[in-house]
């Protein structure tokens, strides 16, 4: 059995979590976003994604990787979803996937920040994701251990070559440039 994850002082860093590979369960996870549209916000999510979290003997040795199928975007409006799939936004014919690969994790004021490279439309930018550890279930749904995290970050979509609708005449913004990303992740220990 793997060892519990500890910090540099030998104290439990993530109570109940053991080192190993944890596979993200898409049926119990959510990759969502929200963006300003005129005076309101549009919310959406991706329904097809896969990834894993490799928890090291200390949190700083941990890493994560995720692949998201951009064609799986849903906002509850078919016309908008089809537009998001075009070259105006995700260009799923040329770049069907969005990826995230972590580059490090650190503790900041008692919370965790996961840094990594986010790639959209073949453009890669560094992002920091604020994480909240939700806990561990040692018996899971079918006897497997499970962990949970919430994550939050924001990106500027024009940095990734997605600038459609950012501004029209004058200063009127149709679709905001800032996109808030919301992650709710449940993963099962695979080893």
Q: Which helix (H) or strand (E) holds 82?
A: helix 78-84
Q: Kindly report whether the global pTM for this prediction surpasses the value 0.85.
A: yes
Pairing assessment for the beta strands 63-69 and 97-108 based on DSSP bridges:
antiparallel
Question: 79 CB contacts (<8 Å, ≥6 apart)?
Answer: none
Residue 9 lies in a domain: no
pLDDT digits (tens, 9 = 90+) for 42-96: 999 999 999 999 999 888 899 999 999 999 999 999 999 999 999 999 999 999 9
CATH of the domain at 54: 2.40.128.110
Residue 11 lies in a domain: no
What is the predicted pLDDT for the residue at 191?
Answer: 63
Distances in Å between the Cα of 69 and the Cα atoms of 16, 36, 126 are 32, 23, 20
Residue 7 lies in a domain: no
Domain span holding position 92:
20-189
Residue 13 lies in a domain: no
Residue 12 lies in a domain: no
Residue 68 lies in a domain: yes
Residue 3 lies in a domain: no
What is the predicted pLDDT for the residue at 58?
Answer: 85
Total domains present in the chain: 1
């Amino acid at each position: 059995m793997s060892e519990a994850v500890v910090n540099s002082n030998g104290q439990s860093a993530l109570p109940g979590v053991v080192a190993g590979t944890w596979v993200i369960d898409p049926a119990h996870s959510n990759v969502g976003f929200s963006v300003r549209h005129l005076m309101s916000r549009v919310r959406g999510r991706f329904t097809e994604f896969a990834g894993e979290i490799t928890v090291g003997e200390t949190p700083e040795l941990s890493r994560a990787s995720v692949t998201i199928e951009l064609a799986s975007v849903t906002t509850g409006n078919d016309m908008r979803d089809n537009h998001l799939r075009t070259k105006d936004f995700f260009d799923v014919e040329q770049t069907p996937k969005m990826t995230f690969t972590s580059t490090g994790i650190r503790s900041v004021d008692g919370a965790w920040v996961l840094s990594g490279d986010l790639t959209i439309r073949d453009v890669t930018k560094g992002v920091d994701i604020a994480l909240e550890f939700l806990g561990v279930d040692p018996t899971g749904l079918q006897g497997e251990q499970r962990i949970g995290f919430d994550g939050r970050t924001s990106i500027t979509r024009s940095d990734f070559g997605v600038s459609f609708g950012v501004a029209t005449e004058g200063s009127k913004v149709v679709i905001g440039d800032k996109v808030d990303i919301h992650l709710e992740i449940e993963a099962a220990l695979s080893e």
